[in-house]
Chain A
Amino acid sequence: EAQVTQNPRYLITVTGKKLTVTCSQNMNHEYMSWYRQDPGLGLRQIYYSMNVEVTDKGDVPEGYKVSRKEKRNFPLILESPSPNQTSLYFCASSSGTGEYEQYFGPGTRLTVT
Chain B
Amino acid sequence: DTEVTQTPKHLVMGMTNKKSLKCEQHMGHRAMYWYKQKAKKPPELMFVYSYEKLSINESVPSRFSPECPNSSLLNLHLHALQPEDSALYLCASSQDWEGEADTQYFGPGTRLTVL
Say if A and B assemble together. no
Q: Which residues of A contact B (CB under 8 A)?
A: none
Q: Which residues of B contact A (CB under 8 A)?
A: none
